[in-house]
Chain A
Amino acid sequence: MSVLAIVEQRMAGEALAAAQQFGSPVSAYSIDLPYTADAYAAAAEELIRKVNPSLVVFGHTYQTRDYAPRVAARFGTVLISDVISGAPPVFTRQMFQGKFNADVRLAGAGPHFVSIQAGAWRAESTPGAVEHFTPTFSSSRQIAHPPFRESARAVDLGAAEIIVSVGRGIKEKENLPVVEALAQALGAELAASRPICDAGWLPMDRQVGSSGQTVSPKLYVAVGISGAIQHLVGMKGAKTVVAINKDPDAPIFEVAQYGIVGDLFEVVPALVEAIQKAK
């Protein structure tokens, strides 16, 4: 099965490694244009018609999410997005926010489209050559302004040795002192999953995840966090992960070395007490 990897800087090595596993011959291109969804969709379409592959592979980046479904639709098919394993013709992706895996089978004539999850394939140390593709004609209805960051982060979670991170399970802003006490007992920075920051219960610069900070502490305590992939990519680098959750099937337990299944409002105060006793 001939494979085309369309790569950008982010995840290029991973996409190439996956492409090499999925079939041969493999060709790899980056699109030589300033990004807009319009311009990249047109360029990718032209590139695919030129190379005529059976399978097109992308890294599952925000940019891929922005334009690749459009390209697949032009070829009358669906991008199998964010796959974690598999090879043609069956790929595995998470559904129901990580509660289940689904084996998804390609159907119909190609080309088929797949994007791989960050961290699911290991980048080769010597990636194959990537060619540059410049489309013969380019136009876009969209104007993209340069990327920017909001005001400097007040908190650098990346440097923290211990992090206590809180999720939806905390239920109300008024309950935050429960986890603050744990952070204090551990000498930890307090962090959160996205919904907590969205709700304004903690500032955005304490968010861990794909849209927030990436952390690698020696100890990461996830309290009431189910463990959606968007959160997991931000804390995968932690040396030791502890999960406290009432749902024994929560995906966070899959990445935890230690876990307590139970009501965080009972478990966390007990943990604070046990830590203080141990000191």
Chain B
Amino acid sequence: MKIAVAIKQVPLRDSPLRVNSAGTWIEEDTLSFEINEPDAYALEEALQLREKHGGEVIVISAGPARVAQTLREALAKGADRGIHVDVATDPAALDTLHVATLLAAALREEAPDLILTGLQSDDLGYGQTGVILAELLGLPSSTIIMQVDIEPGKVRVKRELEDGWFQHIEMPLPAVLTIQSGLNKLRYATLMGIKKAKTKEIKVVNASGGPQPSVAIERLYAPEKNKQGQIFEGDPKAAAAKLVEKLRFEARVL
């Protein structure tokens, strides 16, 4: 079966982030980037499904030139080929409908049996690209998936609900699933994988068109600081003693 995995490149976890001078996005020049963590789980699930059922895994990402690096890393982990939807504009200017439209255009001719992506991105965090992609391709979708079982012509998934509840959903293939983090253990790229990835194909598709933006980030800013909180810094021993005193005599919880 042919599985496509839509991945996003986001700033490296724990990067110090600063808002740009226009106040509309982050300063990207000094940042390093990596695969969005939920998308890494989607990729892992795709690789395991291929091991079980055969076929190929295609990774696709929309973004500027730097995205090629993250696609290459996915190939090193075992994906068969990549598609880079080259978007020259500021990624913040693209809303989720726009990104999904670009991905849909590139995936339509590939006609995958299954499309996976992470449940949300660590940057914008809209959690919608997979669902909109399904809508644009006319496919059924299910979100926050913890388990994927392929059966002839259909897929049965375990969908996460709130408060520790789950639900099984069945739907025909092709379908789009958004994958919850943690459903598998992530693999590392092997040396052999890294070597092989150098010769694997990354097709570059130039993004064109797309819908008019329907939402726009007007201002990005650090949230107002909590004013009631008492924060201690400096020597750990002194801070710990101060905290214990507060917990005993002010909050009276010890």
Residues of A within 8 A of B (CB): 10, 36-38, 41, 61-62, 65-67, 69-70, 72-74, 76-82, 90, 93-108, 112, 141-150, 153, 162, 186, 194-195, 197-200, 210-214, 218-219, 239-240, 242, 247-249, 251, 253-263, 266-267, 270-271, 273-275, 277-278
How far, in whole Å, are A99 and B223 apart by their CA atoms in the complex? 7
Contact-residue bracket for chain B:
35 or more
Query: Separation in Å of the A35 CB from the closest CB of chain B?
Result: 9
- List, in ascending order, chain B residues with CB within 8 A of A98's CB: 223
Whether the Cβ atoms of A260 and B218 lie closer than 8 Å is: no
Whether the Cβ atoms of B216 and A104 lie closer than 8 Å is: yes
How far, in whole Å, are A87 and B216 apart by their CA atoms in the complex? 15
Residue of A37, A218, A242 with most chain B CB atoms under a 10 A cut-off:
A37
Given A96-B122, A105-B218, 11 further pairs, Cβ under 8 A:
A38-B140, A62-B161, A96-B26, A107-B214, A142-B171, A144-B168, A153-B164, A211-B163, A254-B223, A267-B236, A275-B244
Q: A220 — nearest CB in chain B belongs to which residue?
A: B253
- List, in ascending order, chain A residues with CB within 8 A of B22's CB: none
Whether the Cβ atoms of A106 and B214 lie closer than 8 Å is: yes
- List, in ascending order, chain A residues with CB within 8 A of B172's CB: 141
Whether the Cβ atoms of B169 and A36 lie closer than 8 Å is: yes
Chain B window 216-241, contacts with chain A (Cβ cutoff 8 Å), 1 for yes, 0 for no? 11111111011011111110110111
The interface residues of chain B, by DSSP majority, are classed as mixed
- List, in ascending order, chain B residues with CB within 8 A of A260's CB: 231-233, 236, 239-240, 243
- List, in ascending order, chain A residues with CB within 8 A of B100's CB: 73
How far, in whole Å, are A93 and B218 apart by their CA atoms in the complex? 12
- List, in ascending order, chain B residues with CB within 8 A of A263's CB: 236
Whether the Cβ atoms of B233 and A262 lie closer than 8 Å is: yes
